[in-house]
Amino acid sequence: MIQLTDQEFYGLVKFIRMHYGIDLSKKRLLIEARMYSVLYEKHLFSFSQYFEILKHDSSELNTLLNKLTTNHTYFMREPSHFQFLKNTILPEQQKENREHNLRIWSAGCSSGEEAYTAVMVMKDYFGTSSGWDYRILATDISTKALANAQAGVYAEESLKDLPSQWKERYFKKAGSEYVLSDEIKREVILMQLNLMEDFHFQKPFDLIFCRNVMIYFQQAAKSELLQKFYRLLKVGGYLFVGHSETIQHDTAGFRYVEPSIYRKDN
Ligand SMILES: C[S@@+](CC[C@H](N)C(=O)[O-])C[C@H]1O[C@@H](n2cnc3c(N)ncnc32)[C@H](O)[C@@H]1O
């Protein structure tokens, strides 16, 4: 098996951290294991040769990111967020939002389960002929994860926490897999976006999900991203992070609402 030299390893760790925020410094074996097949298919003998290819072929960067990102997720993950959406955010919106237009962003959406679950919650809440526009923007750096979100085909395991009536209503079984209906899929706009880059949106968001993404980021990248989220939220907008993540009071100005839920007050 081809081994990463120390120099190659530290070079790659630095490159990924600088451009994508992800800290791979403890993932040496994972890098070797996941990249081995790529090097093998290209008949390469060292990682240095691969890095040379990367310099000239930006599409190869997608292969690298597809291999090295952690994309594990499932429907209804961390259900208290979806309860909060249903019991707090949607009633607030119904009272105060005259445009009937909700702007939600699933940042680091992986294969789409988070955004699709939120759509199911909103469909349930508003009903079918509601007149509300609640399409969700869902972004990720991994083109493979986005292609899986686009396909909307999931293993049974991914649906284990979903209420059975939603499973029956929104999925068709195909062999051992479950195919998500267009009724849900069309409410989600998928896009590749690197959270470490400068990005702008025409209108601010009511809610941003960025769950289990920043856990792989170094503190500086995390603080910078939180400041971007703060700027991109409406006053009164919410940020959901993963349950194992916390936001320090001095970063960005978010108010703690309850575990892993923060709000922009002014
Ligand atoms: C573990 S998944 C989280 C999925 C979902 N949010 C959840 O909580 O289940 C983390 C995702 O963050 C994405 N990611 C990591 N770094 C990123 C970056 N710099 N820009 C955009 N997405 C990134 C990864 O590709 C991966 O799909």
- Tell me: the pLDDT tens digits for 26-72? 999 999 999 999 999 999 999 999 999 998 898 899 999 999 999 99
| 174 Cα: distance to centroid of ligand 1 (angstroms) | 27
CA 140 to ligand 1: nearest atom: 22
Q: Is the C-beta atom of 71 inside 6 A of ligand 1?
A: yes
Record the tokens describing residue 15, joined without a space: 């490159």
| 109 Cα: distance to centroid of ligand 1 (angstroms) | 6
Q: Is the pLDDT of residue 16 over 70?
A: yes
Q: Is the C-beta atom of 102 inside 6 A of ligand 1?
A: no
CA 106 to ligand 1: nearest atom: 6
pLDDT for 124 equals: 96
pLDDT for 252 equals: 80
In whole angstroms, what is the distance from residue 215 CA to residue 219 CA?
A: 9
Record the tokens describing residue 232, joined without a space: 């991109």
Mean pLDDT of the chain: 95
Banded pLDDT at 250 (limits 50, 70, 90): low
Q: Is the pLDDT of residue 104 over 70?
A: yes
CA 193 to ligand 1: nearest atom: 21
Q: Is the pLDDT of residue 98 over 90?
A: yes
Q: Is the C-beta atom of 69 inside 6 A of ligand 1?
A: yes
Q: Rounded to a whole number, what is the largest CA-CA distance in the chain?
A: 63
Q: Is the C-beta atom of 81 inside 6 A of ligand 1?
A: no
* pTM of the model as a whole: 0.96
Q: Which domains does the chain carry?
A: 6-68 (1.10.155), 79-263 (3.40.50.150)
Q: Which residue has the tokens 């949106």?
A: 201
